[in-house]
Structure 1
């Protein structure tokens, strides 16, 4: 308590004006008023008694006479301790740090203020001791009860007012108060009966200036102590069991607080990581990551995201562990602990790598089997794995045994001529010629002469002996009419007659020539639309469409691409006396390319890479830029799942081409290391 807390605000009166001062009992409720001189300096106080008498005499007294009537009351700073006043003065004038008068303190104010303070202190003290479950009795030196708390009142089943001021042994006969007072020493753990309850009692003498002025008696219900002891034993047993469970786990376990400080770790964690408990416990996970103990921390991710997290963690010594961090929340939902389960997956990682390599070998074996299988079908140039090509070759072999006209459609470079040769080789005319003509490569006049031949002297520049046409030369064999969609409309009529009658006349001739020829036509154009547009004769179209065979573009049968790549690698290795291989990353990149030029374009790319690369293995850097740097865009006609998978494969391959490390790919794409390896394996991006 400070002096200002007891102060009454009063304005000082100047000595020169003191004769004008009048006392009003209703207004002036204080004993004196400070007086200042003409320099504003404090010179004393005028009391109420002198003031009352001055009403009649001041007017006749001089200033010096009035000054002699002033009383000297000490000054005290406003922030001074009020207890100083209680011990050293009964009145005071209160001033601030500059000596200016702020007010006065009267004896009555001191008594009332300190009494109020002591009562307040007593109430707080009683509130404190009443809040405890421990019994407390304060005794004076004679053994009379002066203070008692609520616990004692409950134990004695008496109101506190009925206990205070009674002699202690009258209410608690067994209390050894006199022994403690005689020995002037405390007594501990005395068994005393309070009412019907057995308690443990401690008596502590109270001393002041070396003299014992009383004692405090403290006691605790033995049944409560026994319960606490039991609970403590249970806690110890639970802690011991928990320690046993944690240390018996084969997996490593760590516990951190909500800031990432390591609190506990088991022996398995020490075994898995090689870290001793005193290295890690008490340290923050952020510091351990910065010091190189770990490459990342599941704990920090759990603290950040407030959910369970599983990561592949690399620790000192290049070991790899699988860490699952789980958050522990209190009843308010606040994070209080993070528990990490740690399992060594170094061997599993090695095993996974071995399995991935085995899968890669299996893929290569499947490719070779498909390659050998395609050769067994009858042409070492038709290489496939897809169901669509399997169906094409099945139709081709079926139709080869008859002489029905076949129309092969498909984009340029899909292998229409190869299928035509296969039909010829499997047919009855295998021992007779296979003759091809490109209907788009020559004008109508030359086309007629080439197909039907001419008699001698048929036109200027003709051979004297004449010349047989391709129909005659292909007798009993096969005539392959490539790009028939580009045949001139006027010549289509003549072609229709040959297909219907199986006879024709040479240019300049007069005698029909009968032939037995197998007709196979091919085109990259949409003949049905050309018929609708009036560009191609419908009767010729339907004559050709007896057995239609459609070859899908290479981009729609991607499963054929890996074995085609291997076939072309083998082909040009043998041709140029090389022994080159190709990485699976390059294969995957080529699989994703759209191949507008189909198989022909793929073969050209492989040949170019082989002849222009010095390295023994063809890698991503050897790909043509237009393939390597092509921005991936899924086709519009694919399902969502397929488009997502293709996009994932593309992003993984592009990132690996940039970093050459799957760990860096995981960081680049914001994926977990395990997820990155799993998806890379799924899309066959790992050697």
Structure 2
């Protein structure tokens, strides 16, 4: 009686242990694939369905040799074990584009015969995709660092903020380098944000002048205060004036450089007063009775067409001729593509130093920055990079950039018009009564991917255009055997 009780208890314990092992087997996050000594599948857990795209019932009882021939997975670690009778590890590919790390282990019976092959499989698709992205990023960073090193070694970085690689900008700065040694008036023309102020500062730094660089923004000073700001005033010359009087900006620029920005915004009356200073290099303080002489070099800048303003009577012709002794047109950033990448990294480095950070740009974002036309020129680029540095968590900057689109520029990620035209293939897919829903969807998906790969070239651009991830596009291209470039 006691023996029967013990036997019953042992059976119950074995059943409990078996149930626990079954639960562990089925709940494993990694695939477990078991065959007998001949390679016939005898057990698999549910993860195998996800990896292979086949039901468990479709795998049990099938030989791995047949499964490989059908392309369910390749290569087979189990086959290597059957052939070599020792553990084997392979990187396996599936029709759905998955990459799997498979380790198969042989199990021998007491007589030394191979009785089981147990395979453990880990899905490493995302890991390999991330590794590839990191490799691409490292290569890009190395390339850009080499370009910046080459740039600095060829003396194409003028001062701290002016970068010139395009032939036109190099020619402009070489000319200004010679002009800086004389006192001729320079007129800098160009759109807002192209760097006219920095160029004016650079000319002053290259000159032999010992005085200050004094900047006047002609559009920022109210007309009623312009004269007192420019020339200064004597004590008691008007209500609210300092009892000691005040030096004007012209006087502060003595033996230095006076930079008049946005000179096209001056009224005709103020233009007349400015003309007198330029002609005589002398002025009189507001409320004063004596003329003061100054030794100044004048540089002016504007984003307006002064010649047209002269024709319209909005700008004095004699002042225009006085200012345009050496006219220099600074090209917009969209015409200086050769130096855009170096400029991006130069300004990013400055933003990092300012904010005590060490942020880097993702290849995807860098592509967008380079493809954008920057209607606000260097000022817009500098502000955008600083905003990215300040608002990004972590080291890698990889986000959408909010910029205003204009008629003259392309928005980030904007591609050429690649809208598909009518395609007879879709009519064929819809009219083929032999195709099921899944087959029709796969054919449509394949056609869409092939179309955009042919037009855009890279999986990164296709992913951006179709609002998907690059790893997803890459997997589907592998699945449908669509040839792509590496990125």
TM bracket (short chain)? 0.5 to 0.7
Relative to structure 1, the CA distance from residue 398 to residue 656 in structure 2 (aligned partners, 3 Å threshold; closer, same or farther) is farther
- Give the conservation status (yes or no) of the 8 Å contact 1:632–1:650: no
1:361 is aligned to 2:142? yes
**Residue in 1 that maps onto 2:159:** 379
- Give the conservation status (yes or no) of the 8 Å contact 2:140–2:363: no
From 185, 193, 201, give the equivalent of 1:405.
185
Hey, which of these two has a bigger chunk of strand by percent?
A: 1
1:655 is aligned to 2:434? no
**Residue in 2 that maps onto 1:632:** 414
- Give the conservation status (yes or no) of the 8 Å contact 1:371–1:384: no
Q: Note the C-alpha offset of 1:629.
A: 7.2
**Residue in 2 that maps onto 1:612:** 391
- Give the conservation status (yes or no) of the 8 Å contact 1:368–1:563: no
**Residue in 1 that maps onto 2:303:** 524
**Residue in 2 that maps onto 1:175:** none
**Residue in 2 that maps onto 1:664:** 473
**Residue in 2 that maps onto 1:486:** 265
Q: Note the C-alpha offset of 1:440.
A: 0.7
Please list the CA deviations of residues 11-69 of structure 1 after superposition, one character each: whole Å capped at 9, or x if unmatched: xxxxxxxxxxxxxxxxxxxxxxxxxxxxxxxxxxxxxxxxxxxxxxxxxxxxxxxxxxx
Relative to structure 1, the CA distance from residue 385 to residue 288 in structure 2 (aligned partners, 3 Å threshold; closer, same or farther) is farther
- Give the conservation status (yes or no) of the 8 Å contact 1:655–1:665: no
> Which secondary structure does the structure 1 equivalent of 2:162 belong to?
coil
Please list the CA deviations of residues 315-342 of structure 1 after superposition, one character each: whole Å capped at 9, or x if unmatched: 889999xxxxxxxxxxxxxxxxxxxxxx
1:428 is aligned to 2:208? yes
Q: Distance in 2 between matches of 1:652 and 1:529?
A: 49
Q: Distance in 2 between matches of 1:626 and 1:493?
A: 39
Relative to structure 1, the CA distance from residue 461 to residue 654 in structure 2 (aligned partners, 3 Å threshold; closer, same or farther) is same
Where does structure 2 lack aligned partners over 5 or more consecutive residues? Answer: 1-64, 76-92, 100-130, 418-453
**Matching of residues 313-352 of structure 1 within 5 Å:** none
Where does structure 1 lack aligned partners over 5 or more consecutive residues? Answer: 1-277, 281-286, 295-313, 321-349, 636-646, 681-685
Identify which of structures 1 and 2 has the higher relative contact order when contacts are C-alpha pairs closer than 8 Å and 6+ apart: 2
Relative to structure 1, the CA distance from residue 292 to residue 672 in structure 2 (aligned partners, 3 Å threshold; closer, same or farther) is closer
Equivalent pairs, count: 331
| TM, length-normalised to structure 1 | 0.43
| TM, length-normalised to structure 2 | 0.59
Relative to structure 1, the CA distance from residue 531 to residue 317 in structure 2 (aligned partners, 3 Å threshold; closer, same or farther) is closer
Q: Distance in 2 between matches of 1:488 and 1:557?
A: 33
Q: Note the C-alpha offset of 1:489.
A: 1.1
Q: Distance in 2 between matches of 1:648 and 1:549?
A: 41
Q: Note the C-alpha offset of 1:404.
A: 0.5
Q: Distance in 2 between matches of 1:354 and 1:464?
A: 68
Please list the CA deviations of residues 97-150 of structure 1 after superposition, one character each: whole Å capped at 9, or x if unmatched: xxxxxxxxxxxxxxxxxxxxxxxxxxxxxxxxxxxxxxxxxxxxxxxxxxxxxx
1:582 is aligned to 2:364? no
Q: Distance in 2 between matches of 1:567 and 1:561?
A: 10
Q: Distance in 2 between matches of 1:288 and 1:453?
A: 92
Q: Distance in 1 between matches of 2:312 and 2:472?
A: 58
- Give the conservation status (yes or no) of the 8 Å contact 2:401–2:412: no
Please list the CA deviations of residues 146-174 of structure 1 after superposition, one character each: whole Å capped at 9, or x if unmatched: xxxxxxxxxxxxxxxxxxxxxxxxxxxxx
C-alpha root-mean-square deviation of aligned residues, in Å? Answer: 3.9
Relative to structure 1, the CA distance from residue 316 to residue 492 in structure 2 (aligned partners, 3 Å threshold; closer, same or farther) is closer
Q: Distance in 2 between matches of 1:652 and 1:410?
A: 39
Please list the CA deviations of residues 225-245 of structure 1 after superposition, one character each: whole Å capped at 9, or x if unmatched: xxxxxxxxxxxxxxxxxxxxx
Q: Distance in 1 between matches of 2:480 and 2:292?
A: 74
> Which secondary structure does the structure 1 equivalent of 2:328 belong to?
strand
> Which secondary structure does the structure 2 equivalent of 1:632 belong to?
coil
1:469 is aligned to 2:248? yes
Q: Note the C-alpha offset of 1:501.
A: 1.8
Q: Distance in 2 between matches of 1:356 and 1:573?
A: 19
- Give the conservation status (yes or no) of the 8 Å contact 1:371–1:383: no
Q: Note the C-alpha offset of 1:546.
A: 1.0
